[in-house]
C-alpha cells in the first residue's frame, strides 16, 4: 500500500465513493445519492462520445467547488451575496500528451457581474487559496485563472 503524506483535514465531513469498471469506456457508479454513468472516450480521441469522460466530471467538480469556495472568500472580503449569486464559473480541463502518458491543465473562467475588477481579482485569488480542488492540484496541474466580462 502506498500513501501520500500531505496535509489532511482535521475532520472528515463526507466521503464520496465511486466504483468504475472498464476504464474510460466503462461504467461508473456512486451511491448516496445514486449516480450511474456510462463512460466513453471523447470522439476527438477516438471514442464514440456516447458517455461522460473523466475530464468532464473533473471540470464539473472543480467548477462547483470553486464557486462554493468563492462564497467563503466573498464573506471574508465583504462582497455582497447578491452579487455572488450572479456569478458563473466555467472550468476547462485539457488532456494531452506528457511523455509516455497523459497530463492535464486547467483554465477557470470567472464571471462576476457587478463586482469591480480589483475586488474580483482579490476574490478569485482568495478563492484559489480556499478551494479544496485548487489546493489539491496546486503545483501539479498548470492552472490559468481568468476573470471574464461574459461567458457567451
For residue 150, how far is the Cα from the chain centroid?
A: 19
Whole-number pLDDT of residue 1: 61
Whole-number pLDDT of residue 5: 62
**Where do the domains of the chain lie?**
1-52, 54-148
Which bin fits 68, alpha (ψ -120 to 50), beta or left (φ > 0)? alpha
Whether 40 contacts 86, CB under 8 Å: no
Q: What is the pLDDT along the chain (152 residues), one digit of tens a residue?
A: 655 666 788 899 999 999 999 999 999 999 988 999 999 999 999 999 899 999 999 999 999 999 999 999 999 999 999 999 999 999 999 999 999 999 999 999 999 999 999 999 999 999 999 999 999 999 999 999 999 999 98
Whole-number pLDDT of residue 37: 95
CATH class of 1-52: mainly beta
Task: Write out the H or E segment, with its range, that includes residue 70.
Answer: helix 54-76
Q: What fold is seen in the domain 54-148?
A: GMP Synthetase; Chain A, domain 3 (3.30.300)
Tell me how far apart the alpha carbons of residues 113 and 55 are, in angstroms, rounded to a whole number.
28
Whole-number pLDDT of residue 42: 93
Residue 116 is placed in which grid cell? 469591480
DSSP secondary structure, 76-99, as one string: HTT--HHHHTT-EEEEEEEEEEET
Amino acid at each position: 500500500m502506498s500513501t501520500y503524506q500531505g496535509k489532511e483535514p482535521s475532520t472528515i465531513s463526507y466521503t464520496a465513493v465511486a466504483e468504475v469498471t472498464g476504464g474510460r469506456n466503462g461504467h461508473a457508479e456512486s451511491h448516496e445519492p445514486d449516480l450511474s454513468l456510462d463512460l466513453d472516450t471523447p470522439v476527438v480521441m477516438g471514442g464514440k462520445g456516447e458517455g461522460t469522460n473523466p475530464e468532464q466530471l473533473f471540470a464539473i467538480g472543480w467548477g462547483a467547488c470553486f464557486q462554493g469556495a468563492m462564497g467563503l472568500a466573498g464573506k471574508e472580503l465583504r462582497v455582497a451575496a447578491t452579487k455572488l449569486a450572479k456569478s458563473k464559473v466555467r472550468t476547462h480541463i485539457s488532456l494531452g500528451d506528457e511523455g509516455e502518458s497523459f497530463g492535464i491543465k486547467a483554465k477557470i473562467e470567472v464571471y462576476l457581474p457587478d463586482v469591480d475588477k480589483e475586488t474580483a481579482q482579490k476574490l478569485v485569488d482568495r478563492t484559489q487559496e480556499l478551494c479544496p480542488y485548487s489546493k489539491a492540484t496546486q503545483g501539479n496541474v498548470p492552472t490559468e485563472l481568468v476573470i471574464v466580462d461574459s461567458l457567451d
